[in-house]
Amino acid sequence: MFCPQCGLEQPRSHRFCPACGSRLPTELVPPTGPKVTRLFHSIPIHPADPPDAVLRVSRYFEEFELETAEGSVRIPNGHVRFSMWTGDRAACAVSIPDDEADALVRFLGAALPWRGAVSRV
Ligand SMILES: [Zn+2]
């Protein structure tokens, strides 16, 4: 990857350019491995919402075998898994196929205020 500001070549692991300090667009680098995962921190809205909940989103590109204490599980490719965590426990999880994930991306992108009218309830 090359720094978009100063052009210095960077290792894939860098998040910031050591020469100019710019954030590197790591989201544009093709992922390696069977999946990518990102955590999204919540904000409590309802009084019953936990203050420290995290949404974990994993997109699976390759099928692989996962070894667990209960045995091995085959994880299919072509889906996105959402799990809601409080502390070290997942409260619930759901997976959606890639085409639904792409529809979610379009939905969230269209909801940005500077991108035009979106009905708000
Ligand atoms: Zn730079």
Q: Is the pTM of this model over 0.85?
A: no
Phi, psi dihedral angles at 40 (to 5 degrees): -120, 125
- CA end-to-end distance (rounded Å), the chain: 42
The answer to whether residues 3 and 19 touch, using CB atoms and an 8 Å cutoff, is: yes
Q: Could you tell me the two tokens for 32? A: 């390696």
For residues 84-112, one letter each, b for 16 or more C-beta atoms within 10 angstroms of the residue's C-beta and e for the rest, the string is bbeeeeeeeeebeeeeebeeeeeeeeeee
Supply the pLDDT for residue 44.
94
Q: What separation in Å is there between the alpha carbon of 76 and the centre of ligand 1? A: 38
Q: What separation in Å is there between the alpha carbon of 114 and the centre of ligand 1? A: 28
CA angle 80, 82, 83 (to 5 degrees): 145
Supply the pLDDT for residue 10.
85
Q: What separation in Å is there between the alpha carbon of 4 and the centre of ligand 1? A: 7
Q: What separation in Å is there between the alpha carbon of 26 and the centre of ligand 1? A: 13
Q: What separation in Å is there between the alpha carbon of 38 and the centre of ligand 1? A: 24
**What pLDDT, in 10s, does the model give residues 44-54?**
999 999 999 99
**What pLDDT, in 10s, does the model give residues 24-51?**
888 787 767 889 899 999 999 999 999 9
**What pLDDT, in 10s, does the model give residues 61-97?**
899 998 888 899 999 999 999 999 998 899 999 999 9
Q: Which of 71, 75, 42 is nearest to 58 (CA)?
A: 75
